[in-house]
Chains A and B, each alone.
Chain A
């Protein structure tokens, strides 16, 4: 802190600067008088807490920011510690990327949806895969029955990937792929498709989620034990640094942690702790932190409590910058930037009166924008029933366009910066996250915490508390426990996935196995197995395997065979 910021602080019991101290005293007297008046007013009978059950004061004043240095702690956008934004000019230069997550049925159907979205002004692609793909099973595996193409697109091999991106120039769009366990296979598949289109890896822009730690914590889509997964992630970071410098090999994600029931502070703390773990793994493997850190990116939830969410993004930027600089010795300014994607909270949507979800999503999206997000997905109103219809997705995209072009919020950078409440909340969330970092460290780190069930317990108890508040009507959810409509009739259409897609996809993968060049396939798979045993970087052997039309399921099976599987402790 600078000396000027200490004006009015009485470390030794006497005023340092008479004038400022007087102002502070006058403010304190006013606040005390206000509190007397406030105490005499009746209050509504409800918990005045944030969505994360955090008590908030009825008002915030300059007294709450007495220890905050407006220069060093808040500063300006584009400068350390980046509380106000990662770029100098933010949305005046470029609006956030409007990126709707989409995928269903087969590659052919999803390709059509992508063309529809791009034609309606969407500026980036985001691939949703079905569960068999996410879990590394081919469509014709017994575990895949009933799940093929249902919650995303089914991709079994390079042939499906070629169809998925047909007619979409990969040197011109940026693509986000939400996949974690088999992420390295999908990096290889994307590189291979681009290669066929004549686009080299150094021209590719996009993101793979890859964040396996939050899978153990929240979403539970792992393939192997943590150790080999972390090794593969380091392989991807190293390969991208050398070959695909515009690609984000990992998107460190709080979204799923929040969806699984965490509070905002837990989302913030656990996600950043995961991020620190990847940085430490990279450094441990001998990579220079400034070589891979600029390509790390983040993915946050936007839940109902507007100010809590804005403060969370601001705190995340400041914490990341401080730790990267002070703890990990990053020197390159781009290594310090917490750049992020935001998605509105699926778990906040209600089945009752689904049209209300449009409004919830708009408020949440506004928080993401006021928090300085780099890209945004808005959920559709019908997602508590099924995957969204085309119309519902269009309304969700239009919501972003209204915020961007009509509301005026994109005109001013960090428009809530300097709000006593938002700054105090930013400070508090940072402090509470730091307390969690110390606790995680005392457990032996994130992986030890996962093995011990620490994160799973924290989430289960926060989720139960949230539900109890709703059940007891101490937290009002419109249409759920207040303003209920009896005999409500569903008046929106629901998307259905025809079961014939599963049969078609199973036939397709069987035919592919029969007609590919078997010698080439066998050689590539043997090469991959050897590379795993030799602990080499796996990116090249995986590329060779996908080019030989090895399926995702076959590659994962080979890797499971070498690395083993993992079961979590069941805690509720």
Chain B
């Protein structure tokens, strides 16, 4: 764990209302000692990046179960880069095929988690990323 609390924005971009996963993960991250901001539903990529800037988060974690991830995640990533958020992790989960996860990783999106992931695995991933951030800045793009 870092000295300061890790700050995470959990978001639901697009029209998808399936928020069970987002809420379970948000609660698990909070229980693991992180500061969690949940955006609520139906957010635009612009709104998410703006909220992430305002909240000064270390991590943006997006939940997408609608199949629109190949549009929404690259868009958020692009906006993050435009805003100079090079030391912020973009991660997430949902109904996303392995091929799409691979393609998104190549663009610079962090690890994505599918159904059946233990919440501990997500906590560990985020903690490791934040703790090693110094070494990683600039290498994801």
B38 nearest CB across to chain A (Å) = 5
**Is B66 a contact of A572 with CB atoms below 8 Å?**
no
* Number of A-B pairs, beta carbon distance below 8 Å: 111
Knowing A220-B41, A386-B67, the reply to whether A467 touches B97 (Cβ < 8 A) is no
Query: Complex formed: what's the CA distance from A260 to B42 in Å?
Result: 17
* Residues on the A chain within 8 Å of B67, using CB: 147, 150-151, 386-387, 497
* Residues on the A chain within 8 Å of B95, using CB: 383-386
* Residues on the A chain within 8 Å of B40, using CB: 567-568, 570
Partner of A572, one of B23, B71, B120: B23
**Is B24 a contact of A570 with CB atoms below 8 Å?**
no
**Is B23 a contact of A131 with CB atoms below 8 Å?**
no
Query: Complex formed: what's the CA distance from A570 to B14 in Å?
Result: 16
B61 nearest CB across to chain A (Å) = 12
* Residues on the B chain within 8 Å of A471, using CB: 118-120
Query: Complex formed: what's the CA distance from A383 to B116 in Å?
Result: 13
**Is B15 a contact of A467 with CB atoms below 8 Å?**
no
Q: How many residues of B contact A (CB 8 A)?
A: 38
* Residues on the B chain within 8 Å of A480, using CB: 116
Find the residue from A131, A259, A352 having the highest chain B CB count within 10 A.
Answer: A131
Segment with Cβ contacts to B, from A39-47, A279-287, A343-351, A508-516: A343-351
Q: Which of A450-464 contact B (CB under 8 A)?
A: 459-460, 463-464
**Is B66 a contact of A131 with CB atoms below 8 Å?**
yes
Q: How many residues of A contact B (CB 8 A)?
A: 48
B127 within 8 A of A: no
Partner of B15, one of A147, A351, A386: A147
Task: Provide the B19-63 mask, 1 if CB < 8 A to any CB of A, else 0.
Answer: 110111011101000001011111010000000000000000000
Partner of B68, one of A146, A383, A460, A568: A146
* Residues on the A chain within 8 Å of B20, using CB: 259-261, 347, 459, 463
A171 nearest CB across to chain B (Å) = 34
**Is B115 a contact of A131 with CB atoms below 8 Å?**
no
Query: Complex formed: what's the CA distance from A150 to B16 in Å?
Result: 11
**Is B41 a contact of A146 with CB atoms below 8 Å?**
no
* Residues on the A chain within 8 Å of B114, using CB: 351, 384-385
Closest 3 pairs (CB-CB, A-B):
A146-B71, A220-B17, A150-B67
